[in-house]
Amino acid sequence: MTTLQRRVVLGAIVLLALALRLHGIQYGLPAVYNPDEVAIMARALSFAKGTLNPHNFLYPTLYFYVLFGWVGAYLGFVWLTGGVASVAALQQLYFADPTGIYTAGRVLGALFGALCVPAIFVLGRRLFDVHAGLAAAVFVAVAPLAVRDSHYVKHDIPATLAVVMAYVAITRIWPRFPATEPTRGAAGTERERVKAASRGAGGPDVQRNDVLVAGAACGVAFSTHYYCIFLALPLAWAIVLRWREAGWRVVVRHLFTAAAASAVLFLALSPFLIVEPLNALRDITANRQIVIDRAVQSGAFAPAQRYLDILWTDSLGRTVVALGAAGAGWMLVTAPSRAILLLLFPAAFFAFIVNTVPASRYLNPVVPFVALFAAWALRRLALTFRAPVTTFWIVAVACAVPPLAHSVRTGQFFRMEDTRAQAERFVEEYIPPGATVLIQPYSVVLNPSREALVDALIRNLGTADAASTKYRIQLGLQPYPQPGYRVLWLGRGGLDADKIYVDPAEVWAGDGLRRLRELGVAYVILKRYNTLDPEITRLSAELAARGRLIAAFSPYRPGIPATERAGIDPFLHNTDTRIDDALERPGPPLEIWQLEWP
């Protein structure tokens, strides 16, 4: 394959990857149904206040800075092209119609996801050969998990790109082998090549630069997400194998250089961790309690089976995953040093995440390595049986077709109107503005009236004058978004100053729904799940006895029996549920009840 042909093929694969990731990118907007997107975007845009200190360290800050710069560039373009009349109007976009802002943020995620394709190609070409690199690129381009999560304003896809780029930098240290090395005695051949590489390949300055670049790349990854710290393992392994023949003093010196470069880049890109170390420790500890401590209550590694199920069914397609597992085992036998290099990060990372509350997005950094092992196994089989390159590519494309179809369906699914959007449209058409509506968190997005917003701020802050810039801008919108409602939230409280919560225990204090009557609730919007919530079940029974069901919305395809629906969870964007064929659209089942008080 000539250089031009390789570039054309790689370009086509990258364009395919980008198209899949942009398909359905504006799902739900202007409503945002993934609460993580709201929190991340709000934190990134908070830098516009004039400080780069996030005052929150659940994540390192590099991605927030990049997102802030990217969205800022988009808003600058809107202003320069006359999309808004003033800077003040530009600020109000976030509250009046955030569609453009979130689209820009999601497009950044799609670009990061597409860039994983040429990055994995470079890594595969360096460690194997051009054909293996291109096959790995194809597998990553169509991977359903990577395609789905590239639609979100989240850290996992940028972190995945950072991990792959760090591995590319590590290959500056690691000796490179062609895929055509003989299978017999491959382990011995590899040891001989490692020794030769450790004795030659560049002078001291070149070697030191290689270590600096690799260490710096790992620091960048670590500043994207804390879990990238596991890159220290392959970095150290590559250094040890490269210079162990030169003696341990040389090895230790290069390890120290790599660690220093990594630390400097990490702290340079997340500098306020040094400024507020106690707050950082507090946030990291709180995150551990939420993500890890809850997961291991039933024992260490308890979520492992769930993660394996996700990896098998929803990550790259079962054929590619099976090839990846076989390739990892085969490489451990024939080229153990290389296999260990490629396994150190994903194995350590997987051992970590299987002690967390299951979230399919955590598996994204594992996807490129499964693709690499699968591509290598396919290439080795072709070389072993002397199959033509054409045959190799026919099999590779055949392996990519099922995940490609899955990814196309994901984009189509995201384009379907969410049940919460359907319910919102019904409310705006049939429920009079100003009515009091009781909803649950992560349910229908209703616009609070100006009076309701002021009421919530007074209840939570004592006075509306104490509201943050965010709420002052929202109150100052001219014209104020319509229709607006007095929205109450069924729950035990939260940190949002703009929400008034009704404790479920209050609802049952006294006679039935008396508390809702006292609050003036005229409508209740209930979410339904397959797992019964006793409080919601009781509320539902009261509503059935004393209310009137005026609308219901279901995410399931028509004709799906109730018994089958009971075993299929709805897809909500921020959970680990899969997009089942029985689902027609995202969102939970919803019911809208009207209460008619005498």
Q: Across the chain, what does the average pLDDT equal?
A: 88
Nearest alpha carbon to residue 504 among 463, 479, 537, 546: 537
Q: Please tell me the distance from the alpha carbon of residue 528 to that of residue 569, in angstroms, as a whole number.
A: 10
Q: What is the per-residue pLDDT across 399-434, written as a single tens digit (0 to 9) for each?
A: 999 999 999 999 999 999 999 999 999 999 999 999
Contact 142, 404 (CB under 8 A): yes
Q: What is the reported pLDDT for 470? A: 82
- What angle, rounded to 10 degrees, do the helices at 3-22 and 99-127 form? 150
pLDDT band of 510, cuts 50, 70, 90: low
Backbone angles phi, psi at 46, to 5 degrees: -65, -20
Contact 184, 228 (CB under 8 A): no
Residues 374-385, mean pLDDT to the nearest whole number: 95
Which range of 81-90, 149-158, 194-203, 457-466 scores highest in mean pLDDT? It is 149-158
pLDDT band of 181, cuts 50, 70, 90: very low
Contact 418, 527 (CB under 8 A): no
Contact 586, 418 (CB under 8 A): yes
Contact 341, 174 (CB under 8 A): yes
DSSP string, 417-446: PPHHHHHHHHHHHHS-TT-EEEE-TTS---
Helix, strand, or coil here: 182?
coil
Q: What is the reported pLDDT for 549? A: 94
Nearest alpha carbon to residue 400 among 115, 165, 146: 146
Nearest alpha carbon to residue 357 among 312, 290, 310, 305: 290
CA within 13 Å, CB half, 525: 28
Q: What is the per-residue pLDDT across 268-299, written as a single tens digit (0 to 9) for each?
A: 999 999 988 888 888 888 777 667 766 666 67
Q: What is the per-residue pLDDT across 322-366, written as a single tens digit (0 to 9) for each?
A: 999 999 999 999 999 999 999 999 999 999 998 888 889 999 999
Residue type at 287?
A: N
Q: What is the reported pLDDT for 182? A: 41
Question: What residues does 502 pair with on adjacent strands?
Answer: 490
Q: What is the reported pLDDT for 245? A: 85
Residues 539-568, mean pLDDT to the nearest whole number: 89
Q: What is the reported pLDDT for 113? A: 97
Which range of 13-22, 42-51, 268-277, 519-528 scores highest in mean pLDDT? It is 13-22
Q: Please tell me the distance from the alpha carbon of residue 570 to that of residue 590, in angstroms, as a whole number.
A: 11
Q: Give pTM, 2 decimals.
A: 0.91
Q: Please tell me the distance from the alpha carbon of residue 125 to that of residue 38, in angstroms, as a whole number.
A: 39
* Beta strand spans in 330-447 (E): 436-439
pLDDT at 530 over 80: no
Least confident residue range of 83-92, 364-373, 548-557 = 83-92
